[in-house]
Amino acid sequence: MGCARNEVDSEELAGRLHAEGWEVTTDGERADVVLVNTCGFVEKAKQDSIQTLMAAADTGAKVVAAGCMAERYGRELADSLPEAHAVLGFDDYPDISARLGAVLAGERHDAHTPRDRRELLPLTPVARRDTDVVLPGHLPKHLRRRRLADGPVASLKLASGCDRRCAFCAIPAFRGAFVSRTPDELLAEAEWLAKTGVRELVLVSENSTSYGKDLGDPRLLERLLPQLAAVDGIVRVRASYLQPAETRPGLVEVIATTPGVAPYFDLSFQHSSEPVLRRMRRFGSTGRFLDLLSSVRSFAPSAGARSNFIVGFPGETRSDVDELVRFLTDARLDAIGVFDYSDEDGTEAATMSGKVSRATIKRRYDKLLALADELCTQRAEERLGSTVDVLVDSVSGSASSGEIEGRAAHQAPEVDGSTTLVAGDTGVDLAALRPGDLVRATVTATEGVDLVAVPTEMVSAAPGSAESGAWRGAASSESAGSRGRSERSEPAGGAPI
């Protein structure tokens, strides 16, 4: 359930189980044990996790809860959800096989009492390397995660935890302090993923801009990105979860100009009114955020940019909302997520005065959501007539019926819309396309945030694709490096066991 970071954790658990002889499947209907990797971020995500656990119980299998919600609530969740035969915390992950074996044997598992996982690691980041604290997504060298999907895109976890203290967020308390994985680990995993057919790497963490600070080099991401882009078989690397206050000019330039790195900026703005941001324990303002976006576009005019925003935070006024509207109108973001504020257990914001009424929050949420839809549609329309490089995600049905779906550089998986490839007068054979192909295309229409485009040439064929037909005849002879420069200069669940 939840985010891409949880997907990586699910594949860690699957890898540990496979190594111990379990048959791992995503078909819960025939499983002996259904392991639900829960999300504990906000109330809706928690309710989705509970409903999934209850639905899993209907299969007749043993049901086990793991993941963020299980870690965050532990014994409380176990007591309130008898449908779950066990509730496991992160400390159980290294022994996941034994835990599930005990469940199958009918043994009782005593759920943990939650604790603030930030207290398990030293306060100084560089002192966190030599500890035995369990960090989800940080597998020992002798183990490998097991992919639960076979598409051309996979997430690569840079780090775990977070050192920021945003007033609305409980994640650091149950995910712990920030710990980076080493470049050697990441490059080795990237090479392995490429060998499984992955063509695009999406770098995930709670805060990617902090990568390397505990390794003694806060600019390490700037050096790592070109190395990942150079991995044989990888045609696109996408960085996500960037904190605006930590997005340095050097990092902006590397993301915007490095061949093989998507000029894509997933920036966690959350709001733009300075008074609201200060109450959130965050930094920035409308002016500073617009300056950051301006610096991005000075390197890559067609760069993609997305962000999420919270409306109704305690103390938010009508003038604060007006300031956010001003920012959104000027920012030209490709994707905008809008969330209505709600109190979260254990957060500073839950204890703040100046609460905005639910009726007012809903009214502001509806207003911002409608504005976001309108602005993102306008931004997509700005790309009409431009050339984009599209990574094909799926091919279904007849190619002539327009069922070839992919994503341009400004479109991250699942959250930012997609590009449908359709036939045109270019004389190319759409039927030759396969998932993982990277093709150049001209945008001819839009549908909300989604694009419709006509392919013009093959940039990089996926391994195993046929080498005949009009596509292969029109294949570009450009190197990976020149492909990257060309792209930048153009407009542009749970895992059952």
| Rounded distance between C-alpha atoms, residue 76 and residue 63, angstroms | 17
Q: Say whether 291 sits in a helix, a strand or coil.
A: helix
DSSP string spanning 200-225?
EEEEE-S-GGGTTGGGT-TTHHHHHH
Number of neighbouring beta carbons within 10 Å of residue 409: 25
Residue 473's pLDDT is what?
38
Query: What sign for the dihedral angle of Cα 112, 116, 122, 124?
Result: positive
162 labelled as ligand-binding? Answer: yes
Residue 249's pLDDT is what?
96
| Rounded distance between C-alpha atoms, residue 473 and residue 229, angstroms | 26
Residue 423's pLDDT is what?
86
Residue 468's pLDDT is what?
36
Identify the helix (H) or strand (E) that includes residue 307: strand 304-311
Q: What is the pLDDT along the chain (497 residues), one digit of tens a residue?
A: 888 899 999 999 999 999 999 999 888 778 999 999 999 877 787 888 889 888 888 888 999 999 999 999 999 999 999 999 999 999 999 999 999 999 999 999 999 999 999 999 999 998 888 788 999 988 888 889 999 988 999 999 999 999 999 999 999 999 999 999 999 999 999 999 999 999 999 999 999 999 999 999 999 999 999 999 999 999 999 999 999 999 999 999 999 999 999 999 999 999 999 999 999 999 999 999 999 999 999 999 999 999 999 999 999 999 999 999 999 999 999 999 999 999 998 999 999 999 999 999 999 999 999 999 999 999 999 999 999 999 999 998 754 555 899 999 999 998 889 999 998 887 678 888 999 999 999 999 999 999 999 999 999 999 876 543 444 434 433 333 333 333 333 333 333 33
| Rounded distance between C-alpha atoms, residue 314 and residue 372, angstroms | 22
68 labelled as ligand-binding? Answer: yes
- How big is the chain, counted in residues? 497
376 labelled as ligand-binding? Answer: no
Contact 128, 159 (CB under 8 A): no
Q: Which amino acid is at 112?
A: H
Residue 489's pLDDT is what?
30
Alpha carbon 58 to chain centroid, angstroms: 30
166 labelled as ligand-binding? Answer: yes
Residue 427's pLDDT is what?
67
Beta partners for 339? 310
Residue 495's pLDDT is what?
34
| Rounded distance between C-alpha atoms, residue 102 and residue 18, angstroms | 17
169 labelled as ligand-binding? Answer: yes
Beta partners for 421? 404, 453
Predicted structure pTM score? 0.89
Domains annotated for the chain, with CATH where assigned, are: 4-114 (3.40.50), 119-382 (3.80.30.20), 386-460 (2.40.50.140)
Q: How confident is the model over 228-245, as pLDDT tens digits?
A: 999 999 999 999 999 999
Q: What share of the chain is helix, strand, coil (3-state, %, to 5)?
A: 40, 20, 40
